[in-house]
A and B are shown apart, each in its own frame.
Chain A
């Protein structure tokens, strides 16, 4: 009972609170929810299926450019261009999955890094589509003549997409495919003997994560109004990994917590001026050393101290050591 109510309250807050604050906060809220979408997608691939990926931002870029291109050059409605952009990103995710089949852990991670570098180069080398280093402008969506030009209006669009993303992830994790993800992370041998097709499952995981990233990218481009190719480099990908490691690997709640805390925190740290990265890094270290299950593990940790129960269903499903790195 209690957790239903909690979600209801959060939802209510997400809908009702933003208009109370200024437009900067609308923008921040939109950005935060986009990061939630990105984190949820990456956690499915890395936290649940155990496949390291350092190029999540590349799929973001693909989605961003595809959506923008379809809207500006083909005159497609944003509502169509966004999911198509996501699907294009998913196709690339599928393609990346193939080298992934032969590689484990750390080697896979570095290959995804290579893909990231490659896409960065391509962005610069295809200025007709991407606007090259100068970037490209992305308009806001239009529905029945109403343009979502205010950050607040667009925030509600992002909120709707984020809720859909969370639903899809939840549905996936509570399904045979989701169990297959967790199985291949824990024991590929056992998974195979239970008829789980390794290759197919990994490819699905890559595709789904890339789709989420593509959608996030399309939303991001429209929120900012402009795509800056520098936004999709290694440090963005690293931030995505940090979202899910700090939030809690393999847990949707973890993805949400990690994305929210780590998007909002740097903003609040602006007060530290030049030292803000230092403080950020320091806080990150503290969380990592004290909370092995990430932020999502904090709740169950405190709960099990308060009551004597053990084994909570909302604990982060994966432990960091299960992301195959050796």
Chain B
């Protein structure tokens, strides 16, 4: 069995099956793509794995350990990270504060130490700042370090979201349309950086993407959802030729082909 296993996940929204019996297996260090027309249930799937919406049924296993009954913050602590379609940035915080928050899972001071301001806490803060600055630098955001996040354009927010999530060194990182709001050059840059950092940590990626050029070049395996169900899984070349996949996109006509 692969390291990460999403088994028969079912998500229901008031009578509608947003995710219907979807199973995905991911090995460590692999990069998987998750594609499908709008409304196929991709974001709902990710939301259910990170714990923000409840699962009707199904199991989520990391190295054989079930986590589907854990609250969201405990799943995050177990190594499940994600980014958001709308970036979910902390708008009135500076860029560096946003990214620093990503390191919360690995914080080295207790809340009491934080209150009292012990030397240990200040040393930990300095280390945290260095790590966050390195991450910002990798994404070319270091000069925006002290800028107010809420003032920045959407593409930049997506990068901050990604940097923030990566700082948490998750084992499984789920990305929700990481390149939206970016032109092709930016998209390629961001993906290259993400792949490099993730590769360095051994992070497994599950990427929702609408930009076909990006995902076909990035993913080892691609899963296709339509109307909540998985209709195909396989290598990029196979998926591109899969008649079911083509029909799902052309039939509903709303995906953007690169």
Q: Do chains A and B touch in the complex (CB under 8 A)?
A: yes
Residues of A participating in the B interface, judged by any CB pair closer than 8 Å: 167-168, 170-172, 174-180, 182-183, 186-187, 189-198, 204, 208, 250, 310-311, 313, 315, 317-319, 322
A184 CB → nearest B CB, Å: 10
B176 to chain A: closest CB distance in Å?
11
Give the residue of A170, A189, A250, A311 whose beta carbon is less than 8 angstroms from that of B147: A311
Q: A172 near B101 (CB under 8 angstroms)? A: no
**Does A189 contact B73, Cβ atoms closer than 8 Å?**
no
B23 on the A face (CB < 8 A) = no
Whether A182 lies near B73 (C-beta < 8 A) is: no
Instruction: In the A-B complex, list the 7 residue pairs whose CB atoms are closest, starting with the nearest.
Output: A171-B117, A175-B114, A195-B105, A176-B107, A195-B76, A192-B72, A186-B90
A168 to B115, CA, bound (A): 5
> B residues engaging A (CB < 8 A)?
50-52, 71-74, 76-77, 80-82, 84, 88-94, 97, 100-105, 107, 109, 111, 113-117, 121, 125, 128, 146-148, 151, 164-165, 168
Q: Looking at B94, B117, B148, which has the most chain A CB atoms within 10 Å of its CB?
A: B117
In the complex, besides A175-B125, A189-B84, 16 extra interface pairs with C-beta distance below 8 angstroms are A175-B114, A176-B114, A177-B115, A179-B93, A182-B97, A186-B91, A187-B89, A187-B90, A190-B84, A191-B101, A192-B50, A193-B80, A193-B81, A194-B165, A198-B73, A311-B148
Check if A179 sits within 8 Å of B76, measured CB to CB.
Answer: no
Q: Which of B50, B77, B94, B100 contacts A313 (CB 8 A)?
A: B94
The one of B77, B80, B121 in contact with A175, judged by C-beta atoms closer than 8 angstroms, is B121
Residues of A within 8 A of B102 (CB): 194
Give the residue among B73, B80, B105, B165 with the most A Cβ atoms within 10 A: B73
User: B51–A192 contact, CB under 8 A?
Assistant: yes
A-B contacts, 26 of them at CB < 8 A, read A171-B121, A172-B115, A176-B109, A179-B101, A179-B104, A182-B90, A182-B92, A182-B101, A183-B104, A187-B89, A190-B90, A191-B73, A192-B50, A192-B51, A192-B71, A193-B52, A193-B72, A193-B80, A193-B165, A194-B76, A194-B165, A196-B73, A197-B73, A204-B111, A311-B147, A317-B92
**Contact B114–A171 (Cβ < 8 Å):** yes
Decide if B125 touches A174 in the complex (CB within 8 Å): yes
Instruction: List the B side residues contacting A180 at CB < 8 Å.
Output: 101, 104
Q: Is the CB of B84 within 8 A of A195?
A: no
CB of B151 within 8 A of CB of A182, answer no
Question: Judging by beta carbons under 8 Å apart, are A172 and B114 in contact?
Answer: yes
A322 to B148, CA, bound (A): 15
**Please, which residue of chain A has its CB at the minimum distance from the CB of B82?**
A193
Please measure, in the bound complex, the distance between the C-alpha atom of A179 and the C-alpha atom of B126, giving whole angstroms.
Answer: 15
Residue among A178, A310, A311, A319 making CB contact with B114, cutoff 8 Å: A178
Collect the chain B residues with CB atoms within 8 Å of residue A186's CB: 89-93
B148 touches A175 (CB 8 A): no
B93–A195 touching, CB < 8 Å:
no
